[in-house]
Amino acid sequence: MKTAMIWGAGGGIGGALTSALAAGEWKLTAVARGPQVGVHPTAHLLEADFSNAWEVEQAVQGAAMEVEKVDLWIYCAGDITAEKVQEMEPETWARILDANLSGAYLALHHSMPLLAEDAVLVLIGAVSERLRLPGLSAYAAAKAGLEAFADALAKEERKKRVILVRPGAVETRFWEKVPFQQPKDAAPPEKVAARILGAVRDGHAGRLDLVS
């Protein structure tokens, strides 16, 4: 049985990925940022503040007690705000960068000893060039940084497969945090999860654009 580790399992895409993998009989470790009710019951659930290096390391150690190695590693945690630079507090900027970018580094840094030599690493980004809008400076910067991080990572870890997913609008709770209307063609998280896992199965590497 292959093993998967999902960071951000309590979100829309993370929850859909967890359910889809469970249906495919993967052994799952799901890491969430707080108590979660919706995570698939077959997953081994851990909690961590993804901006806290010690908590992230403890989550990885908890995973290591359940599995010997991880074949598929996914970071799909994130956060968003819509505040102009002049109005945004430094704490808010740090929170958005931590959730979308620094958390990915911390989670991967501590997970490395647990990863299979040929593991597939999936990072959920965004079509960052479309996000350079008033109020989205922190989110757009974080997602653009994640793309650069993924590019460098792929060159460092040549035996592993790195996939940077760039979804378009997705039906998640993110829309409750911004003053924009959810587009009518926003994709259900289950559809996004299916396309991501299809790319994993088909040997895809590099950027994966899922724009509607």
What's this model's pTM, rounded to 2 decimal places? 0.92
pLDDT tens, position by position, 145-201: 999 999 999 999 999 999 999 998 777 777 677 777 777 777 889 999 999 999 999
| Spatial contact of 42 and 66, defined as CB atoms under 8 Å apart | no
pLDDT tens, position by position, 8-26: 988 889 999 999 998 888 9
pLDDT tens, position by position, 61-115: 999 999 999 999 999 999 999 999 999 999 999 999 999 999 999 999 999 999 9
pLDDT of residue 10: 83
Torsion of CA 37, 111, 142, 166, to 10 degrees: -80
Q: Taking the CA atoms of the chain, what radius of gyration do you get in angstroms?
A: 16
pLDDT tens, position by position, 29-64: 999 886 654 566 667 889 999 999 999 999 999 999
List the strands of the sheet with 44-47, edge to edge.
44-47, 27-32, 3-7, 70-75, 115-124, 161-167, 206-210
Average pLDDT, the chain: 90
